[in-house]
Structure 1
Amino acid sequence: MTNELMVQVPRSLKYNRSFVTLMTAQAISNLGDWLHLLAILTLVGIRWNATPWEITFTTLCAALPVLLTGPFAGALADRVNRKWLMIAADGARIVIVGGFIFADQIWHVYVLLILKSLFDVVFSPAKNGKLKEIVPHEQLGQAVSISSVIEQMSKIIGPALGGLLVAAFGITWCFVLDSASFLISGIILLWIPGARVIQSASQKVEHVRKETAGVTPSGEKAAFLKDTMEGIRMLASLPQVGTSLILLAAAILFLQFADSQTVVLFRQLPGISSDLLGWCVAASGVGTLIAAMSVQKWKKAGHVVKMGLGTSMMGLVIGTAGMIVGVWPHAGLGANLLLISLFALAGVGIGFAIVPFQILLQEQTPEPMTGRVFGTVGSIMTASNIMGPVVGGLLVTSFGVVPAFICSGILLTLLGVMYVMIRRQKRNSMDGSLAAKSMVTGE
């Protein structure tokens, strides 16, 4: 009997070679998703002296395909061999990222960004589907959590590493190494099985798909809309998560007013070096990493309070950066070092705004609803990332880049302070209710 029980217990995920291989490939591929970001901003914003609207459109070219083609990419991942779909996506991105080396006009960058973003979208649902093929159902929640951590960390490490590469070796080498990252990821993926490993799980998934989606395109569209609405309803019903999502989406929106126009701000400094942007982005990434590693150790404050404080910190730093450039136009080494330090503090604020929300979402989302809830959150965050640069471009064009930064800073600071005050008010109200209940019941 003991032997039978031992056989039924799945081994640790670290012994699942297919899973470890997939996560390794994902880590390298996700890193490549973000490695090129700083190089493109430096190329377009500083070397080519692009206008605020051209910089805004650069951001939109990377974000819009994620918002518009996500459902179609998911449907494709359900119909073809996921292993080869991921390898094909990596292969295409090797060529596309390599094309940035030869881009000499801004419309070349637009086209390449759109193409790369399309294949970024294809990779993610194929990877998520592959998880279900190689991980037992009992370990799926743990596997999804590990995959989410890798994805979030790549958003932190990628731009920071890209900033260091641009500062140390130049833009071209950043594109070369980015292209190489997709090559390495594609080669690693050759070692995962192409066929399903967990047969029982795959049969259940197929059975559910047929019952809910049917075999017709209209049925699949209805199922997708139904799943989307279920994700929204679940978010609204989860304690703290729905309101925290509103805070984070607003914070990302306000942050993008300024963040999307950082290159324009730096151009106000005479004789600006392209290395400064790289070091600032790297410093921001380091700050976010520090916050991510320390946020769990600070247990006295709740997740929502940490988010509010992080948002306020971002606002104070961004507003200060705008004022420094406005009152210190002839910046030298001192101003450069101060800006790098401010970006590091902004990274800490970003970490305290985002990481607690991710933890809160993981803790309160039921496992069967993970995909729908996280998909809905991703769509909302993408919408904020799209709207922010548009408003930022409008502000910079109408009033100038320094007022846009100060406006962004004020909005973020007020948003964070307001949310901390509301959260404390709710907590005091709950404590008062509990005390009154105790007096009535005599407990």
Structure 2
Amino acid sequence: MRNLRGNRNFIALLTAQLVSSLGDWSTSIVIPVLLYKYTGNSATTAVLMLCRFLPALLANWIIRGLQLRFLNPVAIMRVMDLIRMLLFPIFIVATAPWHFYVLTFVTYLCSAVAKPCSLSVVKLCCESDDLASANNLLGAGQNLLMLIGPLIGGILYASRGAAFVLVLNSATFLVSFLILLRVKVAHSGPANSAEEAWGRHGLYRDVLRLARSYPQIVLFIVVDAVSGFAFGALNTLIPAGVQLRFHNSAFIYSALLSSLTGGMLIGNMVFQRWFIRFKLLRVYLVATSVALVFFLLSGLATMAALAAVFLAIVGLCNSMQDVVLATSVQAAVEDIRGLTTVFAISESLAAVSVVVSSALLAVLLQKVSVTTLTILVFALATGGCVVYCLLHRRALAT
């Protein structure tokens, strides 16, 4: 941690991420409110949420194309910041639902491209012993802004209007771009044949290479996607369960979401204080197991306070999962093009898991109770993780 304080490249990266995330999370509540204001139809906001998840499926192809043009991860992040800086003010004049859908899809596509790049830049900026602390700091900053950003956005929206919040978000991306100009990394393009192999022969070849060369990393990614089926289901199960079980559902729903996000922030503190010294794979598997158990308990809880505590523990474990996954991939994959590709594949699989679970449960809720669905999702996610780990015991032993 002490080494990071004097690491100018990492401090610049961290600052840029915090500034842009503040604007992003501030507008996360404003754009759905604007859309509902124009349409009066809650179904349009559901489509908007879909437009936030789907771009991660395409991020890998965008990254591959940009890397083949010899753009390093920092340069790609700068391009994504400039695009978002230009797009967010257009929301001010958007009036039709499809305007919001297109703008949301493109801005979140930029975010989906920038995230794998930022994780690759961490490896370029930091020594191997500092990777876990660096990822944890980035995660803590993101989780803090996820917690307070919507509140700030709501206050600014109520006092200054939507246009002010959207222009402010645009300005944060300009500031982020300027800060990223200070990040100087050695990597400027493909340096050897190994790097050139990544991204030049199609996604299928990249996935095969990943499976053959990094079996333990594949285990991390697959378990993350399979367990993510349960955690993605929370998008559907929490609001449905709150409406069925509790009075004053709007307040309790917001309280449960705050508990989940607050737990993620606490998880970063707990990881840095107690778990950073342990073997990463062990921490990951324990965190995943505990998160799945408390996911089940949160879905069965009949008291709002208990559900909030259980969801906080889920969030705590989820944040540790994220840090361990990022650190493990950074430590295993040497070349930067391959590293960015692996992160993009991981993000795509996680997005598929969330979209499938959310859509499937939205349909099943018409016929199956929340309690039954919670148990079913827990069984599928836990069983899938256990079966995959048993089939790949060698990866666990490496």
Instruction: Give the TM-score normalised by the residue count of structure 1.
Output: 0.66
How far residue 101 of structure 1 moved from its aligned partner, in angstroms, is: 5.6
Partner of 2:16: 25
> Is the 2:12–2:183 Cα contact (8 Å) retained in structure 1?
no
Partner of 1:368: 334
Could you give the per-residue CA deviations for residues 242-288 of structure 1, whole angstroms, max 9, x where no partner exists? Answer: 55544432332133334146456656699968665444322221122
> Is the 1:249–1:380 Cα contact (8 Å) retained in structure 2?
yes
User: Is the counterpart of residue 297 in structure 1 residue 297 in structure 2?
Assistant: no
Distance 1:164 1:207 in 2: 45
Aligned CA distance change for structure 1 residues 381 and 172 (closer, same or farther; 3 Å): farther
User: Is the counterpart of residue 117 in structure 1 residue 105 in structure 2?
Assistant: no
Distance 2:377 2:56 in 1: 26
> Is the 1:101–1:172 Cα contact (8 Å) retained in structure 2?
no
Partner of 2:256: 280
Deviates more, 1:278-287 or 1:27-36: 27-36
Partner of 2:362: 393
- In the TM superposition, 1:145-224 aligns within 5 A as 145=132, 148-165=135-152, 176-177=164-165, 180-193=168-181, 198=186, 201-202=187-188, 205-208=189-192, 212-213=196-197, 220-222=199-201
> Unpaired segments of 5 or more residues in structure 2?
394-398
Deviates more, 1:376-385 or 1:179-188: 179-188
Distance 2:49 2:161 in 1: 19
Instruction: Pick the aligned partner of 2:211 from 216, 220, 232.
Output: 232
Distance 1:44 1:88 in 2: 27
Distance 2:313 2:246 in 1: 28
> Is the 2:20–2:173 Cα contact (8 Å) retained in structure 1?
yes
2:274 alignment partner, SS class: coil
1:206 alignment partner, SS class: coil
Distance 1:424 1:211 in 2: 29
Tell me which amino acid in the other structure corresponds to 2:359: V
How far residue 181 of structure 1 moved from its aligned partner, in angstroms, is: 4.7
Deviates more, 1:142-151 or 1:153-162: 142-151
Distance 2:137 2:86 in 1: 24
1:368 alignment partner, SS class: coil
How far residue 124 of structure 1 moved from its aligned partner, in angstroms, is: 3.7
Partner of 2:54: 64
Instruction: Pick the aligned partner of 1:254 from 206, 230, 245.
Output: 230
- In the TM superposition, 1:60-99 aligns within 5 A as 60-76=50-66, 78-80=69-71, 86-99=77-90
How far residue 389 of structure 1 moved from its aligned partner, in angstroms, is: 1.9
Aligned CA distance change for structure 1 residues 265 and 86 (closer, same or farther; 3 Å): same
Tell me which amino acid in the other structure corresponds to 2:311: A
Tell me which amino acid in the other structure corresponds to 1:159: M
Could you give the per-residue CA deviations for residues 209-237 of structure 1, whole angstroms, max 9, x where no partner exists? Answer: 69735xxxxx95406543332223345x2
Distance 1:354 1:74 in 2: 27
Instruction: Pick the aligned partner of 2:42 from 41, 50, 57.
Output: 50
Aligned CA distance change for structure 1 residues 234 and 390 (closer, same or farther; 3 Å): farther
1:222 alignment partner, SS class: coil
How far residue 423 of structure 1 moved from its aligned partner, in angstroms, is: 12
Aligned CA distance change for structure 1 residues 156 and 166 (closer, same or farther; 3 Å): same
Partner of 1:5: none
The structure whose Rg is larger is 1
> Is the 2:210–2:342 Cα contact (8 Å) retained in structure 1?
yes
Instruction: Give the TM-score normalised by the residue count of structure 2.
Output: 0.73
> Unpaired segments of 5 or more residues in structure 1?
1-10, 214-218, 325-337, 430-443
Question: What is the aligned residue count?
Answer: 380
Aligned CA distance change for structure 1 residues 420 and 25 (closer, same or farther; 3 Å): closer
How far residue 379 of structure 1 moved from its aligned partner, in angstroms, is: 2.4
Distance 2:203 2:52 in 1: 24
> Is the 1:256–1:385 Cα contact (8 Å) retained in structure 2?
yes
User: Is the counterpart of residue 315 in structure 1 residue 296 in structure 2?
Assistant: yes
Distance 2:236 2:283 in 1: 30
How far residue 48 of structure 1 moved from its aligned partner, in angstroms, is: 4.1
Partner of 1:410: 375
Tell me which amino acid in the other structure corresponds to 1:190: L
Aligned CA distance change for structure 1 residues 192 and 383 (closer, same or farther; 3 Å): closer
Q: Using CA pairs under 8 Å that are at least 6 residues apart, name the structure with larger relative contact order, 1 or 2.
A: 2
> Is the 2:261–2:312 Cα contact (8 Å) retained in structure 1?
yes
Distance 2:21 2:73 in 1: 17
Tell me which amino acid in the other structure corresponds to 1:280: L
How far residue 97 of structure 1 moved from its aligned partner, in angstroms, is: 3.7
